[in-house]
Structure 1
Amino acid sequence: MTNNQAGKRKPGTPGAFSRWMQRKMNARMNRKIRRGRGQFMGMDVLILNTVGRRSGQPRQSPVAWFDDGDDARLVVASGGGSQNPDWHANLMAHPDKASIELPGHDATPVIPQQLDGAEREQAWQRIATAQPRIAKYQSKSDREYPVIRLTAR
């Protein structure tokens, strides 16, 4: 019998209560963003609309964003744990179905591009300067947080 069959989960994987609480908090934040209030803990927040990679169902995730000029925004797939958040896998699986909602605005289709190398490093420096809290989280993680540029289509 594997750990999952015995009712145990992998370390770093949220339990049922934690996932339920996250869904409730996300739904509340999404309502606030749609009413025109897109700030959380001093960060600008948008709704990232994706499609579930396995389910094919629409998903809506509030995500902190950073301006990258010319209708582009940067988002960081931190997730606060040992693995990328679900929205990152969904976004990468169905990039053609992604859109964002800025506070009080309708959804805008976007083209996601995961940054790497020097381009990621430059974007990361801007993000870390704007929000040192994210750099602190990154320093405590064993993985490098993906940085994704979302450009309006």
Structure 2
Amino acid sequence: MAWVFARVLYRVDNPLLKRTGGKTSVTGLLTGLPIIELTTIGARSGRPRTMPLVAVPDGDRLVVLASNFGQHQNPAWYYNLRAHPECTVTHAGESVPVVAYEATGDERERLWQLDLETYPPRAKYADRTGGRRIPVMVLGSLTS
């Protein structure tokens, strides 16, 4: 299923999410996973970049993992967030400005387990990374 997500579904989800104002994604409909649109500022280009991602709620924050479907390198959006942590999340038709940071230590482990409860196949992604530790990113309110 990771192959389908990586090569097909996100390409279908982008235009569908745009057309429905962030309310509907094929991935969400097929899997029941919580899908958001994350809009970052490109680390090198400075241009807005939007990507559909699985996001797990943790209180009033969202957690996204830079698993990149188990590839050996981190996804571009991870580097965008590192360079420009202020970003926008769109879900269910609502866009909210948030700020991102990378979880570490016990917080990272707790959030990793929370993500695995929502999306168990992510454990297989970790096995395929070639030893890359998958970053766990937290998206929270700008006022927190």
Q: What root-mean-square deviation, in Å, do the aligned CA atoms of Structure 1 and Structure 2 show?
A: 2.3
Aligned length: 132
Tell me, which stretches of 5 or more residues in structure 1 are unaligned?
1-17
Residue 110 of structure 1 pairs with residue 98 of structure 2: yes
1:80-116 Cα shifts (integer Å, max 9, x gaps): 21101111101110113x11111211x2111111001
Amino acid of the structure 1 residue aligned with 2:91? L
Q: Runs in 1 of length 4+ with deviation above 4 angstroms?
A: none
In terms of fraction of residues, the more helix-rich structure is 2
Pairs within 5 Å for 1:1-150 = 24-31=11-18, 34=21, 36-38=23-25, 39=28, 41-69=31-59, 71-80=60-69, 81-96=71-86, 98-105=87-94, 107-141=95-129, 142-150=131-139
| Runs (5+) with no aligned partner, structure 2 | 1-5
> In the alignment, residue 34 of structure 1 is paired with which amino acid?
G
Aligned residue type for 1:67: P
| TM-score of the pair, normalised by structure 1 | 0.76
- Asked if 1 retains the 8 angstrom alpha-carbon contact of 2:17 and 2:23, the reply is no
Structure number with bigger Rg: 1
Worse overlay, 43-52 or 131-140: 131-140
1:111–1:150: 8 Å Cα contact kept in structure 2? yes
Report sequence identity in percent: 33
TM-score (structure 2 length as normaliser):
0.81
